[in-house]
Structure 1
């Protein structure tokens, strides 16, 4: 399994002795967000425990996630539990069937545990982490606590009265905060996103508090909690870029485009380039669209590229109002990335159909679509990975 910010790892099994449990991340809740947080933490290679306080998770349709990492992990476990090959379609999943799969998953894993039908009686700080006492006398020690069960009772037990669950922002290009997104959410007629800063609670380290309903927000919370647990650090010191890359690895969209599916061969390149703002989406009928097959224009890329690359000023001064065709685009990325135009051309021609999955022919005079330009920029410049932004989305150079 691919690792990004979790490069090297020794898996320590849960220590369960004398009714004591030690875990990296504890998630309290039984809804969509709680489940997604637990699964993402497991995918991100930390020990995770879920405390549902009920007879199991109460989930909406997992398969609305469109091949998201959370649904992929569930499907894998479902096939294993039901002993179904990939060639056989899975049956519809109701509450009972979903939890049969999840409980078998928990029973067979040393790093993924689900505790049902037991409530907490006390939650308090223990050093940099947390100690939770359950009604059956069990103590749980966790490095990071994720609350996915917003309730007054929970805050009373915590003895905290001034925090609210993390909120998503309505998507806007009015500022650069979208560059810090760790989850794109498609609410009814309102594309939204979760900036990392919304997830971090001032003066409450290693505590994440999220609403119950959004799988995407849960997945973002799981990755953020895992980062702090893995590196034995504070949530306030979360590394935005590493968390974003981890989430993209597990198919969590950072921006909520309606017209690009996770299964699209250019999905990752489009998510990365769009998150930088080098190409922006369009709002239409309450949806955010990327319009991948429309042509790139000179004016829409000029200023964003100049914002990211000093050398872009020189290139655009030397190439005034030129068509954004393949020839000029290769010249552009070669100049900004200190690459050989000829070597870039040969590599791109070789990969045009098989690697990128483009439908068009390789033609140096061809005007590029937004899809094609995204792939070219992502591979040969990769501004998303290599150019940092701060918590407000401001470019750091």
Structure 2
């Protein structure tokens, strides 16, 4: 049963990534069919982000009331229904409507699954599971590309992913008893007798109480900074390489995709050493590697090789940070509090991912695209300093 549940969780993480790239991959065609400006994609993503933040904050109460298995199954069902709704939408307002359950489903399942894995599984699984998210996010653009190339239209890509999500929903519904019966091996640093694991029926930890726990604001700031950095690179790196470093558009696009592939591959590799190195060193080493990558990205030298190498190193450095922050949460703040804190962490992550790219867009319009490495360096230093302060404030055993 343990192996079966673990397999289902891995598939669920692939499923988490599948919808995330669909809007961006299909929007060049979608906005024409719907008769809206290309910038309208920002409205869709803002609605999705808003729903995700709300459901992340509510995930602790929902998980304690209904259990991880039920929350996961219902959340995936919500995203499946929303994706099916996208496929049948013939007007922009319909996309906006379906974006609401899309975001609500994504946030709840993200927080619930991340906490379950952080509490019950070793660090290597957290890294490999987040690599599976990257795999899912990489697959969906190919689904959209195939649908458009075959002449089936963007709606067929959405219905394809919706069907995949629906199949996973059925599997999750049948797996609900496993979440209650399976008792995975808990890492030795989690003391069950002293700090009960969160689960169905356990005492609720109010948001205000979670935010008052020592060190929580430090990790929230670090998480916000990391996700802001990652999303800014994803959106703006290719433009920076072309406008300020003289890289041709095709090469810039290829290396921008290598940033995401670097994150995915880096998480697979990190899984082999995470248990030996520990979460704190994975976070520290990740931020330092990002710093090296950003330095190479911004060095004022007459060569295109260094910024391209810097972008790849930045992706590899980003790889272990997100999984390690999540996995360290039960150890730093207690298993009883971890679901509430991880829910707030997800909200901080989505807030950073939503606000940072447009903020950089405004700044670059005023000063020029050359400030990208400086912007990234500030976020890197903020994340590193906050995580180091937490290491001194809340030592891990």
> Given the two structures, how large is their TM-score scaled by the length of structure 2?
0.22
Which is bigger in relative contact order (C-alpha 8 A, separation at least 6)? 2
Structure whose residues are more often strand by fraction? 1
Bigger CA radius of gyration: 1
Select the structure that is richer in helix: 2
